Each structure stands twice: as C-alpha cells, then as structure tokens.
Amino acid sequence: MHEFELLEKIKIYEDNYENLMQKMADAGKCNDVETIKECGKKISDLEEIITLAKSYKKNLLAIEEAREMIKNEKDEDMHDFLKEELNRSLENKENLEKQIKRFLTPKDPNDKKNILIEIRAGAGGDEASLFAGELYRMYTRYAESNKWQPKVLSSNAQGIGGFKEIIFEVNGRGAYGMMKYESGVHRVQRVPITESSGRIHTSTVTVAVLPEAEEVDVHIDASQIRIDVFRSSGPGGQSVNTTDSAVRITHIPTGMIVSCQDEKSQLQNKERALKILRARLLEIEQQKRQDLETKVRKSQIGTGDRSERIRTYNYPQSRLTDHRINFTTHRLNEILEGDMEEMVDALKREDEEKKLEQIGSM
C-alpha cells in the first residue's frame, strides 16, 4: 500500500472522527445521553488511528523539509547531520506505516466478546483426563490474571482428578481476541504417575474456544429443539439430587446435543445448555463463512479447526512448542500456572503479520 493510498484511508477515519465529535456536541446541547454514550464509544475506538495520523503527517512534512534543506546545504558537517535526521524520519515513517496498517487490518467482530471454552480428553485415557484438568486450571489462572471471570457451565469429572469434558465461560472484554488461538489439539508427553517403568506416554486433549452468542446473534426456534429433563448423577452414577433438574437439549436440524446438570435448578441448567448451543451454532455459521473466504482463511494462523494439532507440552524437557508459529519455550511450568502472556503475544503478532502481508499484496 503506497503513501497516497494510506493517506486516503486515513482521511476516511478523520472525517468520521470529526462527524462524531460534532454529533456528540449537538447531543450535549439537548442532553441526549444515549447519543453521547454511543458517540463517545466510537470516538474512543478511533483515537488510536487519529493520533497515528497526526504523527504520520508530521513525519512526512519533516522528511520533505529535510530533503529540501539537504539540496541547498553547502556545509559538509551540516549536510551529514541533515542526512542522519532524514534517515531517522524515514525509519520512523516505516514504523508508523506498520502501525497504521495494523489498525487497518480487518478486525474480527468477535474479538471483544466473552467466550465459552470446551476442553475434552482425547487419546490417552486417564492421562488425557488429567491433562484436560490441567489445561482448565491454566486457562482459569490466565483469565484471573486478566481480571476476567471464569465460570463452569458443564463438566464430566473423572475420579482421578481430571475431566472427560469441561465447558466453562470466561467473561471479560477482549477475551475472545486473546484466547481464540487455543482451539485445536493439545498434545502432552510425560511419564504417567501410574507408569512404573518410566516410559513417556503421549496423550491428547481437544480445546474449542467459542465467542459467546447472544440471542440476537443466533435465533433458536423452539420448534427445532427437544428438551428432556432427568435426575443429575455424579461419578459412578450416584444421584446428586432428588429432583429432575438436569437438562438435555437436542437441536433437531443438526442433531447436536447439549446436557447440563451442574446446577440444582432446572431453569439454570436449561439456560446454560442454551448458551452452549447458541455458541456452537454460531461457530458452525462462522466456519461456513470462513470456508467461503478461502483467501482470508489462508492468512490466518489457525483459530478454529479442532482437529489441527497446535501445541506439544513436553514435561521431561520442560518444553512447550506451538507448531503453527514455531514458538518454543522451556518455561512450561510457568505457562501451566497461567503465565501465558508471552505465548499469546507471539500468536497475536504472527497473525497480525500475516494479515499485513495480505494487505500489502493487494
């Protein structure tokens, strides 16, 4: 994208910013609180590009002035000084262009949403269930470090201390944008506690990160679902409570089944099951759109394919490797304690770079 094209794109944001400022000022005169709030939010979202635009234009002017002065400068020392200043400005121009392009890259409308995370034990029996529990702990600790609120919606606990399956929500602004790269197959290599010979076993756990779907995002027709109620049961089939509070919802068009029994109230379990169902249906719709947009799909580092092996956790060597971006660290213990910042930043950065390449090739 050339300088002129960049300035044209920036102009659209600047005009929009000025219009919003005027609209908010007019709303202030008639005390229109809703319009003031709406404009304020949009203005806040544009402040970054407006600040970058000012710096970029100022920098372009500095480059132009430096070139003009170099042409007319006879003193050798001053000439060299001006050339150094020009090179600094050119370098700054490149950095600013990168930041502006990053802002202009298409944003995922779900990035600011709350999320549902589904963790399922795969190959490896008890070891896979134990690791599912450890991933759940890792994600909840990371969520808490970001002041997000995790809450279990549905779980199938194993007596050994792990989970065959656990579904939980994370409420917090920007949760999906940070966590969406976790979807896929996570492979763990370690010696199980029960292994007397010390052999390393490989187990897998599948993770799916879904943006929370509101009723306005996904409408579920009551005629297209079947709701069954049953008595909650714990490990080994033991009765958890004496009423039919557990709920199973079957979505007839897709055959999708969601069960919830963790709450004592049938109504609460129904609400949780519907929340999970909406998120899964939204994921199906998004997948259809992504499959149609093949060019965009190729520019992503993998944010939705549950069958893609994305990461290996090697305990003997305290090594974690993300196979999509060739990211390797020996801080495995810290990451499992929820210190995921470095890894998340690397995934976001790689995704942004790929999108910038996509823009540059247009």
pTM of the model: 0.69
225 Rama sector, left if φ>0, alpha if ψ -120 to 50, beta otherwise: beta
pLDDT digits (tens, 9 = 90+) for 227-270: 988 877 655 444 455 567 889 999 999 998 998 888 878 888 89
Residue 48 amino acid letter: E
Task: Quote the CA–CA distance of 361 and 171 in Å, as a whole number.
Answer: 37
Residue found by looking up tokens 């509101």 in the block: 214
CB 205 within 8 A of CB 336: no
pLDDT digits (tens, 9 = 90+) for 116-143: 999 999 998 889 999 999 999 999 999 9
What Rg value do the Cα atoms of the chain yield, rounded?
26
Contacts of 186 (CB under 8 A, 6+ apart): 131, 135, 204, 205, 206, 207, 310, 311, 313
What pLDDT sits at residue 237?
A: 46
Query: Which of 119, 309, 124, 301 lies closest to 209 in space, CA to CA?
Result: 119
Task: Quote the CA–CA distance of 231 and 243 in Å, as a whole number.
Answer: 6
The token duo for 357 is 């390449």
Task: Quote the CA–CA distance of 237 and 95 in Å, as a whole number.
Answer: 61
Residue 10 CB-density burial (10 A; 0-12 exposed, 13-18 middle, 19+ buried): buried
Helix (H) or strand (E) holding 243: none
Residue found by looking up tokens 């939705």 in the block: 304
Query: Which of 274, 270, 175 lies closest to 217 in space, CA to CA?
Result: 274
Query: Which of 325, 318, 317 lies closest to 342 in space, CA to CA?
Result: 325
Cα-based distances in Å from 307 to 92, 183, 248, 302 = 42, 9, 26, 11
Task: Quote the CA–CA distance of 339 and 187 in Å, as a whole number.
Answer: 19
Listing DSSP states for 290-302 in one string gives: HHH-HHHHHTS--
Task: Quote the CA–CA distance of 295 and 275 in Å, as a whole number.
Answer: 31
Task: Quote the CA–CA distance of 82 and 80 in Å, as a whole number.
Answer: 5
The token duo for 240 is 């958890």
Helix (H) or strand (E) holding 319: strand 319-322
Three-class DSSP category at 76: helix
pLDDT digits (tens, 9 = 90+) for 278-334: 898 988 887 777 665 544 444 456 554 567 899 999 999 999 999 999 999 999 999
The token duo for 211 is 């943006």
Residue found by looking up tokens 């090179």 in the block: 87
Average pLDDT over residues 198-225: 87
What pLDDT sits at residue 236?
A: 45
pLDDT digits (tens, 9 = 90+) for 166-194: 999 999 989 999 999 999 999 999 998 76
- Beta-bridge partners for 165: 120, 156
Helix 33-72 / helix 3-29 crossing angle, nearest 10 deg: 140
What pLDDT sits at residue 263?
A: 81
- Burial string for 275-300 (b: 16+ CB within 10 Å, else e) reads bbbbbbbbbeebeeeeeeeeeebebb
DSSP 331: -
CB 278 within 8 A of CB 217: yes
